[in-house]
Amino acid sequence: MNIIHRRGWEIPESALTPEHFFFNRRSLIVGAGAIALTASAASAQRASDVPDPTADLYPAKRNAKYQLDRPITDEKVNGNYNNFYEFNSSKNVTAQAEKLPIRPWTVTIDGMVEKPQTIDIDTLVRKMGVEERHYRHRCVEAWSMAIAWGGFPMAKLVELAQPLSSAKYVEMKTLQDPKNMPGQKQTWFPWPYTEGLTIAEATNELAFLATGAYGKPIAKVHGAPLRLAVPWKYGFKHIKSIVRFTFTDKRPMSYWEHLQKSEYGFWANVNPQVPHPRWSQATEEVIGTGNRVPTQLFNGYGEYVADLYKGLESERLWA
């Protein structure tokens, strides 16, 4: 294994972007930029201007059980350093993401459930209710942020679905919309973006479906209108702009696992002692602060989640 032990600022940006193993980053960015300049972008912009019908639910009451050890990352800093490959593979995706129409938006719950359904996002959010939670976020690329999410525990969605006892996993999928998500025109990627959790993970009290951030409806760049936040796992598990939850007895194959199985697995729990094959995970750059701090096991959430992995020690739990 080619393990690189270097301090963060010595890691070239190319080594921090998980995509660089097989495509030319620059040509993708240029291609996506050209697409954004077409006339269809102007109409997409108009379609995206619909006011959020759930805006009155924010800011929501904070659930103070979940405390941070650092200040919340400035909203502008967070909104200008993102990963959202459906738009492009740079960290600058906000302008393109802003053009995505997010109403109407439906969420389908299907597979091994008692209550298969397709539900309008605004109905779902009002049914589930909204609370605020402050969570750390640790990307596999060795950077971190802290975010004030709004949303609801994923356990509530599982309850709505009523999975059959034979269901073991929940697979999630992002919207497939190449017209408005130009990165999806790169057909060699395994679109739509897919992620999965065990049902035990999905019903853990920390697993959260974010519909808001920073005291208002979640910005498109962060995955509006519905995005996963599982703070003990690396950021690539935090799937954005979700349209489908499928309950299944088969372990889902996620987007990154599909692309590079040797580097990105199903579990992806944060562990500073297990390096990524190409860089150390011992520390993280806290974006917006200029600081590097030690990374914590399970990103500091071990008291909530460590028990989930007892008996699974033979699995590749950490990447």
Q: How far is the CB of 240 from ligand MTE (least distance, A)?
A: 4
Give the CB-nearest residue to ligand MTE: 235
Tokens 């309950």 map to which residue? 247
Q: How far is the CB of 139 from ligand MTE (least distance, A)?
A: 4
Beta bridge partners of 169: 198, 248
Judged by beta carbon, residue 54 or residue 83, the one nearer ligand MTE is: 83
| Binding site residues, ligand MTE, CB under 6 A | 82-86, 139, 174, 193, 222, 235-236, 238-241
CA dihedral of residues 149, 102, 266, 262 (deg, nearest 10): -110
Pairing assessment for the beta strands 143-153 and 283-286 based on DSSP bridges: parallel
Tokens 């998500």 map to which residue? 181
CA dihedral of residues 9, 13, 14, 19 (deg, nearest 10): 120
The set of residues, in sequence order, having a beta carbon less than 8 Å from that of 139 and lying 6+ positions away, is 83, 234, 235, 236
Beta bridge partners of 245: 109, 172
Q: Centre a 10 Å sphere on the Cβ of residue 276 and count the other Cβ atoms it contains.
A: 21
Judged by beta carbon, residue 85 or residue 232, the one nearer ligand MTE is: 85
Judged by beta carbon, residue 44 or residue 112, the one nearer ligand MTE is: 44
Judged by beta carbon, residue 42 or residue 77, the one nearer ligand MTE is: 77
Q: How far is the CB of 222 from ligand MTE (least distance, A)?
A: 4
Which pair of tokens denotes residue 78?
């967070």
- Residues 283, 127: Cα–Cα separation, whole Å: 40
Judged by beta carbon, residue 139 or residue 270, the one nearer ligand MTE is: 139
Q: How far is the CB of 256 from ligand MTE (least distance, A)?
A: 8
Please choose, from the candidates 135, 138, 136, 124, the residue with its C-alpha nearest in 3D space to the C-alpha of residue 57: 124
What are the helix (H) ranges across 142-275? 154-161, 199-202, 255-259
Q: What are phi and psi of 125, to 5 degrees?
A: -65, -40
Q: How far is the CB of 219 from ligand MTE (least distance, A)?
A: 8
Q: How far is the CB of 223 from ligand MTE (least distance, A)?
A: 6
Judged by beta carbon, residue 139 or residue 148, the one nearer ligand MTE is: 139
Q: How far is the CB of 5 from ligand MTE (least distance, A)?
A: 22
Which pair of tokens denotes residue 293?
């701090």
Judged by beta carbon, residue 91 or residue 103, the one nearer ligand MTE is: 91
Q: How far is the CB of 6 from ligand MTE (least distance, A)?
A: 20
Sheet with 194-198, strands from edge to edge, namely 117-120, 106-111, 242-248, 169-174, 194-198
Judged by beta carbon, residue 112 or residue 227, the one nearer ligand MTE is: 227
